[in-house]
């Protein structure tokens, strides 16, 4: 009986250790959101929940730019997602805290109107960090994407993917360290523009997409997996086949 009890205690201890290890493997993310022109109160909780189906990640959601006044705002997190729209914000110290955080090596995900956040600043650090400069977009319309090349992040992405409504952000400059993963054609400029890409800024891996204006795109499962894959890649937790590294798989719950 004593041996049986000891064995049970050992098994329970091993289970607790395994559970602890699993908890440690989870990515801690900071989701920075808010601003004009988009339903962030709906998008943020939906996207953070859906991404957890594809990546073992949990988020703290914060609204507004005040958090960036603290230069150490991201120190407790493995990755920061910027899904926000504050075009008029121009505080140089505040924006410097953001770009320095990325440059120092913090894995980063950039979503949609973040491309037009800090839009009127006269220096290029934020735009270089994101990998693309944009100050306007086509009118809202249906849109299809193309894959200029294969990459683990977008390996799953359907060749015929489309959305019934989206904003195509016009690319003014695509920075040298950026690589386009998805593009879309603009009838307005008669050019293809990147809508999903990766970038290297300082020590950081940056994943970015301009897709995600409203629920016509934000509600799609493919979009959730795209963001999750981009996040895992930025953390160097996505393998060459586009699968999460061991221990970083999502819940799989739909």
Q: Which SS3 state, helix, strand or coil, does residue 210 take?
A: coil
**69 pLDDT higher than 90:** yes
- The residues spanned by each domain of the chain are 26-234
State pLDDT tens for residues 173-223: 999 999 999 999 999 999 999 999 999 999 999 999 999 999 999 999 999
Span 89-106, pLDDT tens digits = 999 999 999 999 999 999
Helix axes 40-51, 221-234, angle to 10 degrees: 70
At 6, is the pLDDT very low, low, confident or very high (cuts 50, 70, 90)? very low
How high is the mean pLDDT of the chain?
91
Distance CA 56, CA 244 (A): 9
Residue 58 pLDDT more than 90? yes
Whether the predicted pLDDT of 25 surpasses 80: no
In three-state secondary structure terms, 161 is: coil
* CA 139 remoteness from chain centre: 24
CATH number of 26-234: 3.40.50.880
């Amino acid at each position: 009986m004593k041996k049986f009890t000891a064995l049970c205690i050992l098994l329970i201890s091993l289970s607790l250790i395994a559970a602890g290890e699993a908890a440690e493997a989870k990515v801690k993310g900071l989701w920075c959101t808010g601003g004009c022109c988009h339903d962030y109160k709906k998008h943020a909780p939906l996207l953070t929940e859906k991404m957890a189906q594809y990546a073992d990640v949990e988020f703290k959601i914060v609204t507004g730019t005040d958090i960036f006044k603290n230069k150490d705002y991201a120190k407790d997190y493995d990755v920061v997602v910027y899904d926000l729209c504050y075009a008029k914000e121009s505080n140089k110290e505040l924006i410097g805290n953001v770009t320095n955080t990325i440059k120092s090596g913090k894995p980063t995900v950039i979503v949609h109107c973040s491309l037009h956040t800090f839009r009127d600043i006269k220096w290029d650090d934020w735009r270089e960090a994101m990998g693309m400069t944009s100050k306007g977009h086509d009118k809202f319309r249906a849109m299809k994407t193309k894959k200029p090349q294969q990459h683990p992040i977008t390996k799953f992405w359907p060749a015929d993917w489309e959305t019934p409504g989206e904003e195509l952000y016009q690319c003014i400059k695509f920075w040298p360290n950026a690589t386009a993963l998805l593009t879309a054609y603009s009838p307005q400029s008669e050019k293809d523009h990147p809508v999903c890409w990766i970038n290297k800024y300082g020590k950081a891996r940056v994943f970015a997409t301009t897709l995600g204006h409203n629920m016509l795109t934000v509600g799609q499962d493919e979009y959730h997996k795209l963001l999750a894959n981009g996040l895992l890649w930025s953390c160097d937790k996505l393998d060459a086949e586009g699968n999460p590294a061991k221990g970083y798989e999502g819940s799989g719950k739909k």
